[in-house]
A and B are shown apart, each in its own frame.
Chain A
Amino acid sequence: MLPLSSRLGALVIVALLAAGCEGGQPLYEAGLKDEAFGKFAGRASASDEAARPALSAEEVDRFIRLENIRPEERPPIESDEAGVWLIADRAEASVRREADRIRDAELNSYVHGNVCKLAGAYCSSVRSYVVRVPTFNASMSPNGMMMVHTGLLLRAGNEAEMNAVLGHEIGHFLRRHSVQRQRMIAQTKSTLAWLSFAVALVGGSLNLMDLSSTIGIANVMAYERDHEREADGYGLRMLFDQGYDPRAASQIWSRLIREKEKAGEQRRFNPMLATHPAPQERMAVLGEIGNALAPRMSAMELGRRKHLSMILPRRHMWIEDEIRLNDLKHADALLDVLIEDGVNLGELYYYKGEAYRKQGSKEKLEKALEFYDQAIGRNGTPDRLHKAKGLVLARLERNAEAIEALEKYLALVPEDPDAALLRSQIESIRKKVGNS
């Protein structure tokens, strides 16, 4: 038990540190009000009665105040920011050699074309790399290196949804969030160090320090979540400026939430540890602002056709990466959400079958067969479905059907490298049937 004076001291510290609590919804609108970023502000906020009063710089940057980075600006070499860039430059050099980096020129130029469109004057400052990683994510380095995961491209239903995320990442870059974060953490840690010195000087308890460093960490996390909100707002702003449906930002979150719910992956939001605001908050706030912006646009697009023309020929690889994670609930949920989207259902049901086939139990194999049958006759069904189906039927000892499926496959794809193996398997099934 702490002595009374220490507890009082702890309360004072709690009060002081918690004063820097989160900025909440208004931060999402910071990007919409940012005149430094370009043409938007003059076009919309001045004439908009519904617009909330613009945020002052103090409200946006409660700890570290920084101007937006300028196009093609590099921080001066003696600055702390140059150090942050140095590490990012080194990381970029290794990303260039990364085995997981996708070197498909067409796909990279599609993504980078969108980055450029959104970034405007910052186009030449931002370099995007598509990397083969099965998670819904993209990341931004302080030096302008953007990494776009294939898991994001797979889940975005259209260009507008993808661009909501790309714009968010550009927002991190131009608001210089990395260096802000480094300064914030250094300041918090230094404050805590001096605080612990002061506490030790008056013979105070070390428990007090544990408490205040916990609050310090929570405070840094709250600060990071504010950056996410601000970046979300910039993403929205860029959608609006480029004539994309601003409601797409909310929609991609709604997709992700549906996927997490189906997979049973919904975790409780932890204000001490969460680096990002809860997806529900982002969906709701971005939806609200997007709905308010949409009526002000004379024309807007989703860019679905273009997006699908890039994604559909490639997504089989990315779906396979997700299935390879060997988490059936995860794959099942992802595929269900893609099925709701309704394109090339034959391919998606085939992969549902594959996710179940990988599990191997009799029950799962039977389920796999159901999905294969749902796939047949729909768009995008791959020929190799018949091979998978034949192998499952053989495992289930439904011999006649297995032979039929495998023969059908060999008729469709006679040049399969496994053709000889499959033929010998057909023979051995025949023998087994003949012997019994």
Chain B
Amino acid sequence: MPCPRMSRFVLAMLGCILLAACETQHFLADPNLDLSRTNPAILVFPIDATLAELTAGGSLEINALWTQQAEGFADEALRKHLLGLGGKFVEIKSAHFDEASLAKVSHLVLMHSTVSAAISRHKYEWSEALPTHEGRFDWWLGQSGQAIIERTGARYGLFISVRDSYAGPGRVMLIVSASLLLGVYVPGGRQEGQASLVDLSDGRVVWFNRLSREAGDLRTSAGAEETVKTLLTGFPARKP
């Protein structure tokens, strides 16, 4: 074995500390992008949130009530934050769309979920880095955004998704018992978030940020505000 158990453990701990220090890291397709100069309209897609309880054994049980409330809190927090930035924001309303253009919206949303998963994997996991993408940030969703520009007049689309989990009573008991009696660390809930800004005219992901931490709470409106603010760190729009 190239690396004995103890030193691997130390490495893992170091990794954790480093990760915790910089819990978000964002990417810009074009380092000079600054929307505050042109102030284009940005279409805000509904926040995709899923909240779950972590059971003692590590199962995630989706909580529909928390999820429903979190969507409300996060939408509200996002609206506030974006207003603070002073940009032009358009909310997506199905009234803008007929059946055919709605299909384009669905297509874009699906494509985005696949591409953002790929970005998250290949730009953030060092072991999964793609040699062809080294030092570059170029990801595309295709042309389906055109129909949205025609309907809404927005030039950019903002997508936000958050997967949030919280240790349930059983998990908390296990965490406490393991740390007190065995001195062993058992992980609790996590927050994994992604935010991306997409140029609807050509489908390019122009800005992307990821959040991955053992903190954050979408179950309260203050928590949602903190999460949204952290997730939008480095957002290339007008500063307040």
In the assembled complex, B209 has its CB within 8 A of some CB on chain A: no
Pair A194/B55 contact, Cβ less than 8 Å:
no
Question: A177-208 vs B: 1/0 string, CB under 8 Å?
Answer: 00000100111111111100100110000000
Q: Is the interface of A mostly helix, strand, loop or mixed?
A: helix
A63 to B56, CA, bound (A): 18
The answer to whether B64 and A193 have CB atoms under 8 Å apart is no
Are A83's CB and B52's CB within 8 A? yes
Instruction: Mark contacts of A192-230 with chain B using CB atoms, 8 A cut-off: 1 yes-contact digit, 0 otherwise.
Output: 111001001100000000000000000000000000000
Given contacts A82-B65, A83-B62, A201-B182, contact A189 B177 (CB under 8 A): no
Interface pair B64/A186, CB less than 8 Å apart = no
Is B181 at the interface (CB under 8 A from chain A)?
Answer: yes
Contact of A97 among B59, B62, B63, B103 (CB under 8 A): B103
Asked if B135 is an interface residue, CB under 8 A from chain A, the answer is no
B64 and A83 contacting across the interface, CB-CB below 8 Å? yes
Q: Cβ of A186 and Cβ of B62 under 8 Å apart?
A: no
Q: Is B62 a contact partner of A200 (Cβ separation < 8 A)? A: no
Could you mark each residue 70-110 of chain B with 1 if its beta carbon is under 8 Å from any beta carbon of chain A, else 0? 00000000000000000000000000000000010011001
A87 at the interface (CB under 8 A from B): yes
Which partner residue on chain A sits nearest B173 by CB separation?
A194
A312 to B64, CA, bound (A): 44
A86 & B62 in contact (Cβ 8 Å cutoff): yes
Decide if B227 is an interface residue (CB 8 Å cutoff): no
User: Among residues 148 to 192 in chain A, which have CB atoms less than 8 Å away from a CB atom of chain B?
Assistant: 182, 185-192
Q: How far is the CA of A190 from the CA of B175 in the complex (A)?
A: 12
Q: A182-B59, A182-B61, A190-B57 are in contact. Are A94 and B174 (CB under 8 A)?
A: no
Q: Which of B55, B62, B64, B107 contacts A190 (CB 8 A)?
A: B55
CA gap between A78 and B103 in the complex, in Å: 32
Compute how far the CA of A187 lies from the CA of B170 in the bound complex, rounded to whole angstroms.
11
Which of B208-237 touch A at CB < 8 Å? none
- Min Cβ gap B142→A in Å is 15
Asked if A193 and B106 sit within 8 Å, CB to CB, the answer is: no
Given contacts A97-B103, A200-B182, A201-B182, contact A189 B59 (CB under 8 A): yes
Which residues of B have CB within 8 Å of A97? Answer: 103, 106-107, 110
Is B61 within 8 A of A86, CB to CB? Answer: no
Q: Is B40 an interface residue (CB 8 A)?
A: no
A77 beta carbon closer than 8 Å to chain B:
yes
Residue A85 at the B interface, CB < 8 A? yes
Residues of the A chain whose Cβ atoms lie less than 8 Å from the Cβ of B62: 80, 83-84, 86-87
Q: Scan residues 58-107 of chain A and give those whose CB is less than 8 A from a CB of chain B.
A: 77-80, 82-87, 94, 97
For the complex formed, measure the closest distance between the CB of A88 and the CB atoms of chain B, giving whole angstroms.
Answer: 10
Contact residues in B for A79 (Cβ distance below 8 Å): 64
Which residues 129-183 of B have a CB within 8 angstroms of A?
A: 170, 174, 177-178, 181-182
Residues of A near B68 (CB, < 8 A) are 77
Query: How many whole Å from A94's CB to the nearest CB in chain B?
Result: 7
| Distance in angstroms between the alpha carbons of A189 and B103 in the assembled complex | 41
Instruction: Contact check, B57 vs A86: say whether CB atoms are below 8 A apart.
Output: no
Question: Chain B nearest CB: distance from A390 CB in Å?
Answer: 40
Q: Which of B50, B56, B107, B184 contacts A194 (CB 8 A)?
A: B56
Does B56 contact A190, Cβ atoms closer than 8 Å?
A: yes
**Which chain B residues lie closer than 8 Å to A201 at the CB level?**
181-182
Across the interface, which residues of A come within 8 angstroms of B184, CB to CB? 200
Q: Is the beta-carbon distance between A192 and B57 smaller than 8 angstroms? A: yes
Closest to B105 in A: A97
Interface status of B116 (Cβ within 8 A of chain A): no
What is the distance, in angstroms, from A283's C-beta to the closest C-beta of chain B?
Answer: 35
Q: Given that A83-B63, A86-B67 are contacting pairs, would A189 and B106 also be in contact in the complex, using a CB cutoff of 8 Å? A: no
Question: Considering the chains assembled together, what is the distance between the CA atoms of A174 and B178 in angstroms?
Answer: 40
Expressed in whole angstroms, the Cα–Cα distance for A201 and B178 within the complex equals: 9
- Of the candidates B64, B107, B174, the one whose C-beta lies within 8 Å of that of A86 is B64
Selected from A77, A186, A188, A192, the residue in CB contact (under 8 A) with B61 is A186
Q: Which residues of B contact A87 (CB under 8 A)?
A: 50, 62
**Residue among B55, B106, B174 making CB contact with A197, cutoff 8 Å:** B174
Chain B positions within 8 Å of A190 at CB level: 55-57, 59, 170
**Chain B residues proximal to chain A, CB less than 8 Å:** 50, 52, 55-59, 61-65, 67-68, 103, 106-107, 110, 170, 174, 177-178, 181-182, 184
Q: A185-B59, A190-B57 are in contact. List 6 more A-B contacts (CB 8 A).
A: A77-B68, A87-B62, A94-B110, A189-B58, A191-B57, A192-B57
